Chain A
Amino acid sequence: MTVPSREDLLRELTPQVLGALIRRYGQFDGAEDAVQEAVLAATVQWPDQGVPDNPRGWLVTVASRRLIDQVRSDQARREREWATAAQAGPEGVPDTDDTLVLLFLCCHPTLTAASQTALTLRAVGGLTTAEIARAFLVPEATMAARISRAKQRIKAAGSSFSLPEGAEREERLRVVLHVLYLIFNEGYTASSGRDLHRADLAREAIRLTRMVHAQLPEDGEVTGLLALMLLTHSRREARTTTAGDLVPLAEQDRARWDRELIDEGTELAKASLAAPELGPYQLQAAIAATHADAATAEATNWPQVHALYLILERIAPNPMVTLNRAIALAETRGPQAGLDLLATLDRDERMAGHHRLLSVRAHLLEKTGDTAGAYELYRQAAKATASLTEQRYLESRASRVRP
């Protein structure tokens, strides 16, 4: 292990400092702004003056001053409070890591997914509003308004700063994991253009999920999600060409997969399956691990992939899962079996005209030798997608089978 950089240290301490402030002063909204300012002060001062012996205590003290500065307009009173806050110092800070509590708060169920992700990245991830805005390709003013609205909503909901108990805790944890999954996907599916910033989101999601996993190592779904992210991330170099074109799984150069991530992800995927209950992330991780285990696309253990999708379909029915199972079924029992399964999705209005259904059907038709049918469906799929990269890929597939 290398010594964490100053930036890493700050990012790691951000949620802890924020948690300490909320415990002491109770107001999430003001505390969050104050912590951002303290972190900024640290980025300016630490390079010159060196990292303090107790960086966490330093940040808590500075952030407390800022917070009090915000809430007390009376000058004399402010002076007194400043002194008190400075005296309270790090000794008054409970030595608990509130990262998890904070994550639950940021993923409050009254917020939209867009607000949950933005707030999580700022309050727990320690990113600035400008950085988050860049990552999501919106102007900073738009992101600032979104974050400020989210904080108001949390305030209005009157949520207490503590971990929810029992069934509510389970339910809220699912929301947290979903938000982390969304952040990861936002980074992973990044395509042309400003992909660098967006790839950082995938790394950030992994970092945050690692933090959750460190606190809840026994939770199968947390472990499963971390495994799924690592295994998916291991393919990032191989999934696009240098020109930015998509490379499907079957055609990826597996030598470019990141072995270290695969090993860690596979271990975690195995460990997660030992949990008493099985959830969708564990199963998706197991599927990703099965793919990672195959030296070539031909060597893939498709019966196992199909069996895992079958279980996933039972515990979390979803047309996208059925769609993926159809691909696995086509590999084990031929393209017609896959097409027959796809036909059952035609009645599902969530899938009507969906580009994934069109493109998978096109792919299977191509395998049966119906190139005219495949051509038509690839073209329809290319029109239906909102991703430029995917459109280019589908158009190239269409050209290959043009009658």
Chain B
Amino acid sequence: MQFLISMHINPAVLDALTDEEKAAIGDGHGKFIETIKKSGELITTQALVDPSQAAVVSVRNGQPAVTDGPFLESKEYLGGFYLVDCENKERAIELAALIPDAAIQGLGVEVRQVMFSAGLLDA
């Protein structure tokens, strides 16, 4: 079963962290990647640039319009994700709990099963 484990970050919360805390998050992700690579559960992971760099695209009457993002007016934004293939939802939740963000108040880690995919894994 494939799951997307998405990390919802809050730039204000991240800014308030000490350098040591930030370094610990980086190390934690490094270890996590190593763990799920070795276990044969990692498909891919990506981290995104700061939400202030986002562009929002809409097409009205066939004309595209681009505005500065992000789209959601929110404190939390999608910061990155892990795409994993694991035994079941319980295991995906177990994996999510290993992500350092899960231990930080104000950051969110969400698990959702994949329903359809194309491209990356085409035969």
Q: Assess A142 versus B40: contact at CB under 8 Å? Given A114-B87, A197-B123.
A: yes
Q: Report the interface size class on chain A.
A: 20 to 34
Q: Report the interface size class on chain B.
A: 20 to 34
- By beta carbon, the residue of chain B nearest A385 is B115
A145 pairs with B121, CB closer than 8 A = no
- By beta carbon, the residue of chain B nearest A191 is B116
Q: How far is the CB of B3 from chain A (nearest CB, A)?
A: 10
Return the contact of B123 from the options A118, A134, A148, A192 (Cβ within 8 A): A134
How distant is the Cα of A301 from the Cα of B120 in the complex, in angstroms?
47
In this assembly, does B60 line the interface, its C-beta being within 8 Å of a C-beta of chain A? no
How distant is the Cα of A391 from the Cα of B113 in the complex, in angstroms?
14
In this assembly, does B86 line the interface, its C-beta being within 8 Å of a C-beta of chain A? yes
In this assembly, does B25 line the interface, its C-beta being within 8 Å of a C-beta of chain A? no
Q: Give the residues in chain B near A110, CB-CB below 8 Å.
A: none
How distant is the Cα of A267 from the Cα of B102 in the complex, in angstroms?
55
How distant is the Cα of A134 from the Cα of B122 in the complex, in angstroms?
8
Q: Give the residues in chain A near B44, CB-CB below 8 Å.
A: 139
Our count of residue pairs bridging A and B at CB distance below 8 angstroms stands at 55
B38 pairs with A145, CB closer than 8 A = yes
- By beta carbon, the residue of chain A nearest B123 is A134
Q: Give the residues in chain A near B121, CB-CB below 8 Å.
A: 134, 137-139
Return the contact of A146 from the options B40, B113, B115 (Cβ within 8 A): B40
Q: Give the residues in chain B near A388, CB-CB below 8 Å.
A: 115-116
B76-123 with Cβ < 8 A to chain A = 85-87, 113, 115-118, 120-123
Q: Give the residues in chain B near A136, CB-CB below 8 Å.
A: 85
How distant is the Cα of A145 from the Cα of B120 in the complex, in angstroms?
18
A145 pairs with B39, CB closer than 8 A = yes
How distant is the Cα of A138 from the Cα of B117 in the complex, in angstroms?
11
Q: Give the residues in chain A near B116, CB-CB below 8 Å.
A: 192-193, 388
How distant is the Cα of A149 from the Cα of B1 in the complex, in angstroms?
18
B113 pairs with A386, CB closer than 8 A = yes
A145 pairs with B40, CB closer than 8 A = yes
Q: Give the residues in chain B near A192, CB-CB below 8 Å.
A: 116
Annotate A127-160 by CB proximity to B: 1 below 8 A, 0 otherwise. Answer: 0000000101111001111111100000000000
A142 pairs with B41, CB closer than 8 A = yes
How distant is the Cα of A267 from the Cα of B38 in the complex, in angstroms?
45
Q: Assess A139 versus B40: contact at CB under 8 Å? Given A114-B86, A386-B115, A388-B115.
A: no
Q: How far is the CB of B36 from chain A (nearest CB, A)?
A: 9
A193 pairs with B118, CB closer than 8 A = yes
- By beta carbon, the residue of chain A nearest B113 is A386
3 closest residue pairs by CB, A with B: A146-B40, A145-B40, A134-B123
13 A-B pairs with CB atoms under 8 Å apart are A114-B85, A114-B86, A134-B121, A138-B2, A138-B121, A139-B43, A139-B120, A142-B85, A144-B40, A145-B37, A193-B116, A386-B1, A391-B115
Q: A114-B40, A149-B39, A193-B116 are in contact. List 20 more A-B contacts (CB 8 A).
A: A113-B87, A114-B85, A118-B40, A134-B123, A136-B85, A137-B117, A139-B43, A142-B40, A142-B41, A144-B40, A145-B38, A145-B39, A145-B40, A146-B41, A148-B40, A192-B116, A194-B123, A386-B115, A387-B115, A391-B115
Residues of A that sit less than 8 Å from B by CB: 112-115, 118, 134, 136-139, 142-149, 192-194, 197, 386-388, 391
